[in-house]
Amino acid sequence: MKKFDIRPCATGMGKVSPFLFGNNLEHTRSSIYRGLSAQMLRNRKFSGKPSAMEGVAGEWFLIGDRTYAIIHAPYAHHYPGHYHMNRQLETGAQHLMCCDPEKEGGFGQHEIDISDKETYLFAVVAKCEKDVEITVSLTDRYGKKTYAEKKIAISGGDEWKRYETELSCTESDCDASLRLVFKKRVCLCIGSMSLMNKDNFHGMRKDVVKLMKEMGIKILRWPGGNFAGEYNWFDGLLPADERSPLLSYLGLETQPHSLGFDGHDINTDDFIALCREIGAEPFITINPTWCTPEENAAWVEYCNGDENTEYGRIRAERGHREPYNVRYWSLGNEFGYGHMEGDNTAKGYARLARNQAEKMLAVSPDLILCSSGPYPNKEWVENSALPLSDIVEYVSYHTYSPEPVFEKDADIEKRYLASLKNVKNAEDCLKTMREWLGDKVKISFDEWNLWYAWYRKSSVPDGMHAAMMLTMIIGQAPLSDVGIACNFEAVNEGAIKVYPHNAEFTATGKMIKLMTEHMNGELLYADDFTVMTEKDGIKTVTAVNPSVGEDAVFSIEADGKPFEAALYEGKEIMPVSDFEEKGPDISAENGSISLKLSPLSVAIIKIH
């Protein structure tokens, strides 16, 4: 049995910053798509090439054996004059014709999970040479049973028009189909379609937003990550249906679940609304390669300028009169690793970052900027971080611990221990960075997670890793001047699992939420397994026993008595596992509290 003596520091080590409990909102994989976004349709703006000898966009199917379909002149587009990336096939429009007007024709999409307890908003942007009536319905997969149906009159003419209706279903079906059909020998052009729960928050799922708030996210980094290199903020000035999807330069790791395209359904205004709703400080990453310094300065002005400035006036005209006052900005993501477009040399990136920073600061002098790089790396410290230190306050550090891959049972514990070892490696990297940086630049540890947490089910080892990482970060922050730390990332990538009609915390999410109890507390003690803080006369202790087979006893020196406590116990190290919550084994006498933890357990105690 392992034994630990916890003796708090009498004077304290400084307050635990809320910004150590940050997170990312990157448009990767299923974080937005089938995650935070309330949009239910796939490829709703018809990106990519049409299907072979069918002419219908990917994810869609034709209805009627005499229906002719092609992908042609698009409705969605980029903001005029401010798009420089060389991408193709980002958008199209679905053109349909009933070649036999006596037969119904159209198109649809399968695998839509509907509920009879929800009301859905449907919208279509369309144009047609003549007036035509379309029927929109939600049916079973084979179109035999109709759950909801509405008719929409499409006006003839050359202009795109948006039509809306509501659909309330008579039954629930996890494999329903959306169908749009008509009977007339005309060319019906569909620019975009939308289907979402009527009860949404700025196009985002309210249940997911609620969990993000409960998890205690206090700084939120957006739109990337790697996706920042694909992003064009000006497109967000267009209506959501009109914004061009964004093609992934990085392929599988950026949007592998959505045909390689991001639907761009969340813009700057939505992001700020989300941050305000969950109580998080916005942390925006610019695209320094494909957006000019003037364009990124315009983004700063849009966020922070008053209505007398060019872009502040645009924001005000869009219904947001008061400035957003976004202070934290990152000058790109992961330069120096080689996978981001742009100059990946230390000196080249430093020139690029300085040009961007100077233009941005000219607009809003109180910005807090963060530079990129493959840290810890002495060449980048000497040729990037330190030369930029007169205008850039932070430098970014990222780490991903080994994923728990295994081929046999014996590998499971080995991989788990390797992930915990990387927590110690990260601590050593932070110490090395601090030694090389001196007191010139702070550290933003703005990406940490287990590798491939987004491609597998949650488990107790994931939660133990999160508890150990946050324990290390809290203890190391005052020593290595870590001002920001962000898990990567909450939605569908480790902390919150999203289902069609509900969302829940994973083992990782539970541990992140637990550790936020230290937020704003005076740090009294920290080691590899324990943190003690004090706030408003209440001491909070978290203790972690990561051992697979050995109990641990923590003797805590503390005046007062425990009045609230919880134990999160992992029963096994196997994948697809979760913590059981129960009361911990505690005894208290003579100014000492004894806490016994079983293996794979995390406890929290509050003392008054």
pLDDT digits 0-9 by tens, 471-482: 999 999 999 999
What's the rounded mean pLDDT across residues 65-73?
95
Q: Is residue 105 part of a domain?
A: yes
Tally of CB atoms within 10 A around 72: 14
Q: Is residue 468 part of a domain?
A: yes
CATH number of the domain at 552, please. 2.60.40.1180
Q: Is residue 255 part of a domain?
A: yes
pLDDT at 123: 98
In a shared domain, residues 100 and 210: no
Q: What is the 3-state secondary structure (H, E, C) of 390-426?
A: CCCCEEEEEEEECCCCCCCHHHHHHHHHHHHHHHHHH
| DSSP state for residue 45 in the 8-state scheme | T
Last residue of a domain, one of 197, 216, 248: 197
Please answer whether residues 272 and 324 qualify as being in contact, where contact means their C-beta atoms are separated by less than 8 angstroms.
yes
CATH number of the domain at 462, please. 3.20.20.80
Look at the chain and report how many structural domains it folds into: 3
Pairing of the two strands 601-607 and 538-545: antiparallel
Query: CA separation (Å) from 547 to 416, 460, 474?
Result: 10, 12, 21
In a shared domain, residues 271 and 149: no
In a shared domain, residues 185 and 315: no
Q: pLDDT for 554-596, tens place per residue? A: 999 988 889 999 999 999 999 999 999 999 999 988 889 999 9
pLDDT at 38 over 90: yes
What's the rounded mean pLDDT across residues 104-120?
97
Tokens representing 438 are 């001196």
In a shared domain, residues 396 and 417: yes
pLDDT at 10 over 80: no
pLDDT at 467: 98
Query: Do you find a cis peptide bond into 229, omega within 30 degrees of 0?
Result: no
Q: pLDDT for 190-220, tens place per residue? A: 999 999 999 999 999 999 999 999 999 999 9
Tokens representing 42 are 């796939």
Q: Which amino acid is at 117?
A: K
DSSP symbols for 48-98: SPPPTTT-PPTT-EEESTTEEEEEES-S-BPPTT-------S---EEEEEE
pLDDT at 250: 84
Tokens representing 417 are 């221990």
Pairing of the two strands 328-330 and 132-139: unpaired
Q: How confident is the model at residue 389 (pLDDT cuts 50, 70, 90)?
A: very high
Q: pLDDT for 241-265, tens place per residue? A: 999 999 998 877 889 999 999 999 9
Query: CA separation (Å) from 382 to 312, 343, 350, 386, 426?
Result: 37, 17, 11, 6, 21
In a shared domain, residues 551 and 424: no
pLDDT at 539: 96
Residue 502 CA to residue 208 CA, distance in Å, equals 8
Mean pLDDT, rounded, of the chain: 96
Last residue of a domain, one of 138, 169, 197: 197
Q: How confident is the model at residue 82 (pLDDT cuts 50, 70, 90)?
A: very high
Q: What is the 3-state secondary structure (H, E, C) of 507-534?
A: HHHHHHHHHHHHCCCEEEEECCCEEEEE
Q: How confident is the model at residue 411 (pLDDT cuts 50, 70, 90)?
A: confident
Q: Is residue 345 part of a domain?
A: yes
Residue 557 CA to residue 144 CA, distance in Å, equals 70
531 φ, ψ (degrees, to nearest 5): -135, 135
pLDDT at 408 over 80: no
Rounded to the nearest 10°, the torsion over CA 260, 265, 266, 267 is 100
In degrees, rounded to 5, the angle at the alpha carbon of residue 69 between the alpha carbons of residues 67 and 70 is 170
Question: Dihedral of CA 493/224/230/266: which sign?
Answer: positive
In a shared domain, residues 503 and 545: no
In a shared domain, residues 446 and 421: yes
Q: Is residue 207 part of a domain?
A: yes
Residue showing tokens 């990519």: 48
Q: Is residue 56 part of a domain?
A: no
In a shared domain, residues 498 and 552: no
CATH number of the domain at 72, please. 2.60.120.260
pLDDT at 590: 83
Residue 3 CA to residue 189 CA, distance in Å, equals 71
Across the chain, how many H-helices and E-strands are there? 9, 34
What's the rounded mean pLDDT across residues 320-339?
97
pLDDT at 512: 98
In a shared domain, residues 301 and 340: yes
pTM over 0.95: yes
pLDDT at 11 over 90: no
Residue 100 CA to residue 67 CA, distance in Å, equals 8
Instruction: Residue 118: give the domain boundaries.
Output: 61-197
193 φ, ψ (degrees, to nearest 5): -135, 155
Of 565, 398, 547, nearest in space to 461 by CA: 547
Residue 93 CA to residue 547 CA, distance in Å, equals 57
pLDDT at 503 over 80: yes
Residue 389 CA to residue 219 CA, distance in Å, equals 22
Alpha helices (runs of H) in 236-345, residue ranges in sequence order: 268-278, 293-304, 310-317
pLDDT at 560: 86
Q: Is residue 43 part of a domain?
A: no
Q: Is residue 136 part of a domain?
A: yes
In a shared domain, residues 249 and 169: no
In a shared domain, residues 471 and 565: no
In a shared domain, residues 401 and 333: yes
pLDDT at 177 over 90: yes
Last residue of a domain, one of 197, 220, 248: 197
Q: Is 247 helix (H, G, I), strand (E, B) or coil?
A: strand
